[in-house]
Structure 1
Amino acid sequence: MTRIRAMTWNIHGALGRNPRFDLDRVVTLVARHSPDVVALQEIDSRRARAAHVGDPFEVLQQALGSHGVGARAITTADGDYGQALISRWPLVNTEIHDLSFRRREPRRAISTDMVGPFGSMRIVATHLGLSFHERRSQVYKLLAMLGGRDGPTLAMGDFNDWFWVGSVRRNLMRVLPDHSRHRTFPAAFPLFALDGIYLWPAGSLVGSRTDPEARGLSDHLPIIADIDLTR
């Protein structure tokens, strides 16, 4: 097997336009694309508790993949908030990195090696901060996590990258030249490419798209990417 599908989506706490907590519709939309690995941001068990449903970190893991890791950036008496990486295949050498910057909102990154029929792929999944100085600090940490690119390498998530000069995008493209180019925010009328998928080696990204049906479920559109590891 040499072709895999990756997906990233900021699910906005599983709140639709109503707003109404609806994790089932999030699961249905993700499952429809059958990703081999998916990064999800803004998972919020605090809202799930208020809606009297199960922990979304556990629900998403059980529904979407055999392997996964959750990174809880905020933990309170009411529940947790953070992100998850869920995979069809085993994840090894997994670490959760603290990217928090000064007094800004806590941020995390997940680094791991996904081991499948194709061999091993280095993956970093994250949700970066809102300020320019915050993201500049965080992207250098991401580059260190990506390592020496001894094999296929993937970075994906919500990078909150509004600007081009000195941007996360420019720094990641230096080492991961293949990348998605979709505007994902706001979902109803996308103007900004806040979310992304970046790949090495060049030529391995054979196609990518968004799903407009996500507009009723989140303020971000997901990105779905097909990757050919023989290229």
Structure 2
Amino acid sequence: MPAIRVMTYQVNGCRGSDGRVDLERVLDVIHDAAPDLVALQRFDAPDAKAVERLAERLGMSWFGDAGGNVILSCYPLSGLRPYDLGGEGCCLRADVDILGRRLHLFNVCLSSHPRIRQEQIGRLLGPDLLGHADLACPLIVLGDFADCGWGLGNLNLALVLRRARRPLWCGTYPARFPLLGRDRAYLRGEVRVLESSIPRWGVARHASTHLPLVLTLQARDPREYLRTKSLSRRRMEIAPG
């Protein structure tokens, strides 16, 4: 599978750290990062057509709830389904088809209350989502996990997923002085992070209360190839193994 750029961005209803609602600033942040796939949380569109305008300006298709989690994509998506995690937590699942390869995507937004968040992670790990039997391809879970990376819920996540590599300074919240790495990604299967970045300057510091996280991902070809000696051109030979 070719490398793809994936962004997760909690846009806080397009309300910036200065309290001003401005869709154009969110558009500029996404455009500058040039992702192939964007997972937005708490979009809460300023008007009914806002997400359509955003997708059209970026040349992407959009899927999801314009009042909550949204996915913008340059690639075909299938299997789209929203899930209520309880306590105002939500998850939007999709299967991304990239030149014949499939990647399972889970766009999540959790509660900052420790007990509620732990219950939400339990549902996320349950049989309807990450525990579902049809998840045979590599997967990525990304979004606003609403914490600093500690707690029992994260230990449970670590048992079935691995945290995606982030920049050394991984804070994304609050945007003006990012101390907490609330916005993260977790992986499972043969998928790796080639590059990670957090746009920190310019319009990104004001467009939302969060900074975005951008990952360049590549899923490994699951087929295995066996090295053999050169075969004779005169007759067929059986390759060892």
Q: Partners of 1:65 and 1:94 in 2: how far apart?
A: 20
Q: How many residues align?
A: 212
Amino acid in the other structure paired with 1:119: R
Q: How far does the alpha carbon of each residue in 1:34-69 deviate from its partner, in whole angstroms, 9 at most, with x for none?
A: 211111112123xx24xxxx6322223323354332
Distance 1:126 1:64, change over 3 A: farther
Larger Rg: 2
Give the secondary-structure state (helix, strand or coil) at the position aligned to 1:141: helix
Amino acid in the other structure paired with 1:62: E
User: Which residue does the alignment assign to 1:21?
Assistant: 21
Query: Is residue 57 from structure 1 mapped to residue 39 from structure 2 by the alignment?
Result: no
Identity of matched residues, %: 30
TM-score (norm 1): 0.83
Q: Partners of 1:163 and 1:228 in 2: how far apart?
A: 24
Q: Partners of 1:2 and 1:221 in 2: how far apart?
A: 26
Distance 1:3 1:98, change over 3 A: same
Amino acid in the other structure paired with 2:146: N
Give the secondary-structure state (helix, strand or coil) at the position aligned to 2:150: coil
User: Which residue does the alignment assign to 2:30?
Assistant: 30
Q: How far is 1:31 from its partner?
A: 1.6
User: Which residue does the alignment assign to 2:224?
Assistant: none
Query: Is residue 68 from structure 1 mapped to residue 50 from structure 2 by the alignment?
Result: no
Query: Is residue 41 from structure 1 mapped to residue 41 from structure 2 by the alignment?
Result: yes
Query: Is residue 135 from structure 1 mapped to residue 121 from structure 2 by the alignment?
Result: no
Higher helix share: 1
Give the secondary-structure state (helix, strand or coil) at the position aligned to 1:204: strand
Q: Partners of 1:116 and 1:139 in 2: how far apart?
A: 28
Distance 1:24 1:87, change over 3 A: same
Query: Is residue 177 from structure 1 mapped to residue 162 from structure 2 by the alignment?
Result: yes
User: Which residue does the alignment assign to 1:199?
Assistant: 187
Query: Is residue 112 from structure 1 mapped to residue 94 from structure 2 by the alignment?
Result: yes
Q: Partners of 2:10 and 2:3 in 1: how far apart?
A: 24
Structure 2 stretches lacking a partner, 5+ long: 222-241
User: Which residue does the alignment assign to 2:211?
Assistant: 221
Distance 1:18 1:165, change over 3 A: closer
CA RMSD of aligned residues (A): 2.1
Give the secondary-structure state (helix, strand or coil) at the position aligned to 1:82: coil
Q: Partners of 2:186 and 2:218 in 1: how far apart?
A: 13
Query: Is residue 84 from structure 1 mapped to residue 50 from structure 2 by the alignment?
Result: no
TM-score (norm 2): 0.79
Amino acid in the other structure paired with 1:143: L
Amino acid in the other structure paired with 1:176: L
Amino acid in the other structure paired with 2:207: L
Give the secondary-structure state (helix, strand or coil) at the position aligned to 1:172: helix
Amino acid in the other structure paired with 2:90: R
User: Which residue does the alignment assign to 2:227?
Assistant: none
Taking the TM superposition and a 5 Å limit, the aligned residue runs for 1:148-163 are 148=133, 149-162=135-148
- Is this contact kept in 1: 2:140–2:185, CA < 8 A? yes
User: Which residue does the alignment assign to 2:230?
Assistant: none
Give the secondary-structure state (helix, strand or coil) at the position aligned to 1:190: coil
